[in-house]
Chain A
Amino acid sequence: MVKRVVTGNYAAAFAAMLAKVDVIAAYPITPQTFIVEHLSEFVNDGLLDSAFMRCESEHSAMSACVAASATGVRTYTATASQGLALMHEVLFIAGSAHLPVVMPVVNRTVAGPIGIWAEHNDTMPQRDCGWMQVYVEDNQEVMDMTIQAFKIAEDKRVLLPIMVCLDAFILSHTVEPVDFPEQDKVDKFLPPYRPDHAVLDPKDPMIIGSFSPPEYIQEVRYQTDETMRNALEVVEEVNAEWAKEFGRDYGGLIEEYKTDGADAILITLGTVTSTARDIVDEYRAAGKKVGLVKLRFFRPYPTEAIRKVASKCKAIGVYDRAVSFSAGGPSWIEARNALYGYTIPVINVLAGLGGRDVTEPDIRLMFDKVLEAAEKGEAENEIVWIGTRGVKP
């Protein structure tokens, strides 16, 4: 076992090498650029035997991955922000044609105004493209989930593409110790991709992406929906296998932290989870009954798991690093949908948009708001903007 101090970007790139990807197609964009650079180094140093297409845009990079995946090989790309927005229309093809492309997305604010720091308004709008999304908390999880992503995506019950979402700079450019899985163990965990459902091969001709009348497309939508639901189970299985082989259990779809006996639970995603763990410890030590749920998978959405959490507390707060204007944060909207019929207050806390640092006082305020709602059985404001000048939280 080798432990090295590396960035999230390095972990994302190294994981692709461990997964022995066949075709990489990518385009640089801050703060993802280092992923492309590291992969270039691996290829040019002969460490990674992949075809590496240095494309002229993210649109082309995703197109190349889709076409290569449809030809039957393991594919990988990485992007962020505007790059993901530019890929938008291509993403749907991977989802509907069941092409298990794996893509780390370094979550960065989408213009305007242009910025380069962490916000989830790049990945959240992609929720309906037929891609799975997992949000990670530290660089070890970047590494582990990028490898697991291939296994989940390529499972015959799923066959869907997946984004591994890591916060800009907070992970992408931050170094911390990461345990590097050994190649032979990864090989055993992740066998080569040998698809049957989509392979362009002159010896076995197949049409993929045909112009299709309404008689067929609704069934294709159902196929994507069903396989996305199948992924709920596959995520748990792969997590369990990873835990067994590599000793790290992420909890699968969600991870619960000190939720037993909690009156007020905060659901977070991304790196805010990490800081929130400290605040939970602090509040618990002070006798405040708070708990934390780390929402790992946003697609497939873990409806049942969220319901179980809600049935054991008095109020829930949902943290979002993105907003659907006039309607609240996307993660909150999903949680409220999952909790239809539950009578406990479910409030939304918005912070860290545009990459603004989410501080400990910010997170304390989040917990305070949820505690208050738990005590009163209702919330003064359902949607709370935290740390916004001129706006009372």
Chain B
Amino acid sequence: MDRHQGGETIAITIKTLPKEELFTSGHTACGGCGSPIVVRAAMKILGENTVTYFPACCLLVFGGTYPHNAFKVPYLHVLFENSAVCAAGIKHALNKQGKEDVNVVAFAGDGGTGDIGFQALSGAAERNEDILYICYDNEAYMNTGIQRSGSTPFGAWTTTTPAGTKIGGKELFKKDLPKIMMAHNVPYVATASVGHPADMIRKIEKAKNMKGFRYLQIFAPCPTGWRMDTSKTVEVAKKAVNSGMWTLFEMEDGVVTLNVKPKMEPVDDYLKMQGRFRHLTDEQIKIIQGWAYKKNEMDLKFVEAFSEDKKE
């Protein structure tokens, strides 16, 4: 049974993105922050007929500190770990009032999504709640001051994985949250990156026009937490994809498509741009390179296994 009805897609491009800002200037994100790039674009695509939800995260604070707010659309925050179910509650309430056409979107960071927020996220996905969930992945708890999350990559310095004399950064690997979400068999799961805007816009628009549970995880660097120059946010995001540190793919009704074939450039360039990897030993860099190769290999097999021609 189809779990959603695909809507008509009118392809939006950078040139045709609406000029109106539903997420206004004057917000207080750090200079060069990646998440406002995601949010600005997403709000332009979703439009004013949208209700937004935010957990306790950087975006909650920089997007609005009472009595001021950057969002021109309805805005709700309840708590940290319940974004998906709050968005679902909003959607059901709108439907009960005959407002079925309103988009409901939750924006959340990687910790609020894949760690503390995962139970509510998984539950909402399993129930195929009719919401769009956008995770901006900056690979740590940035709001509380750069602590490691399940999404923090191997070797990265954070304030809870310091570059000590005995242990240098995080000893564990990044949680593969997109695939976990794909395993929920929801209508749409995709990864995106601020470094690949056309792909990101297309995916947000596609997700907007679908029904049922839609999950986007968008790579959004944090210059403050990654200890890098504020001008390099987009450049480093491109390098993440090119080196295989982040894969751009999507699953629509069980069919997986690889959107950008990784060039598998050496990870060194990517790592060297960021202060959070400054302490890495050659051995650690080798481990990360190995992880990237292995991830790429597994991703390609995964895409092959769930490709269109394998669909019965």
Contacts and interface: CB of A to CB of B under 8 A. Distances in A.
Direct contact of A and B (CB under 8 A): yes
Interface string A54-65: 111101100111
Nearest to B72: A205
Contacts of B88: 53, 64, 67
A268 B247 CA distance: 63
Contact of A211 (B53, B60, B73): B60
Contact of B78 (A53, A75, A93, A213): A93
Contacts of B66: 207, 210-213, 216
B87 A201 contact: no
Nearest to A97: B78
A25 interface: yes
B117 to A, nearest CB: 10
Interface string A86-97: 000110010000
B204 to A, nearest CB: 18
B96 A73 contact: yes
Interface in A208-252: 208-213, 216
B85 A207 contact: no
Given A22-B93, A207-B64, A211-B65, A67 B74 contact: no
Residue of A207, A208, A211, A212 with highest tally of chain B CB at under 10 A: A207
A53 B127 contact: yes
Given A71-B94, A202-B50, A211-B77, A64 B67 contact: no
B92 A53 contact: yes
B79 interface: yes
A66 B65 contact: no
A51 B75 contact: no
A71 B120 contact: no
A152 to B, nearest CB: 21
B51 A200 contact: yes
Interface string B101-133: 010000000000000000110110011000000
A63 B82 contact: yes
Nearest to B22: A205
Given A207-B69, A211-B64, A213-B65, A60 B94 contact: no
A211 B92 contact: no
A64 B120 CA distance: 10
Contacts of B67: 210, 216
Contact of B97 (A57, A69, A72): A72
A22 B89 CA distance: 11
B285 interface: no
Nearest to A22: B96
Contact of A67 (B49, B69, B73, B89): B89
B69 A209 contact: no
Nearest to A90: B79
A49 to B, nearest CB: 9
Nearest to B87: A67
A51 B85 contact: no
B43 to A, nearest CB: 12
Contacts of A54: 127
Contacts of B97: 71-73
| Most-contacted residue by chain A among B60, B69, B92, B99 (CB, 10 A) | B92
Greatest chain A CB density within 10 A among B50, B65, B71, B76 is at B76
B120 A59 contact: yes
Given A60-B85, A90-B82, A71 B126 contact: no
A63 B89 contact: yes
B65 to A, nearest CB: 5
Most A-side CB within 10 Å, residue of B53, B81, B86, B93: B93
A55 B86 contact: no
Given A67-B78, A90-B79, A210-B65, A202 B73 contact: yes
Q: Rank and list the top 6 A-B pairs by shortest CB-CB distance, nearest first.
A: A56-B123, A67-B89, A71-B93, A209-B77, A64-B89, A63-B82
Given A93-B78, A216-B67, 4 more contacts: A22-B96, A53-B92, A63-B89, A90-B82
Interface of B: 48-51, 53, 60-61, 64-67, 69, 71-79, 81-82, 85-90, 92-97, 99, 102, 119-120, 122-123, 126-127
22 contacts: A22-B93, A22-B96, A23-B92, A54-B127, A56-B120, A56-B126, A57-B119, A63-B86, A63-B89, A66-B89, A68-B93, A70-B90, A71-B90, A73-B93, A89-B79, A201-B99, A205-B72, A209-B78, A210-B66, A210-B75, A211-B77, A216-B66
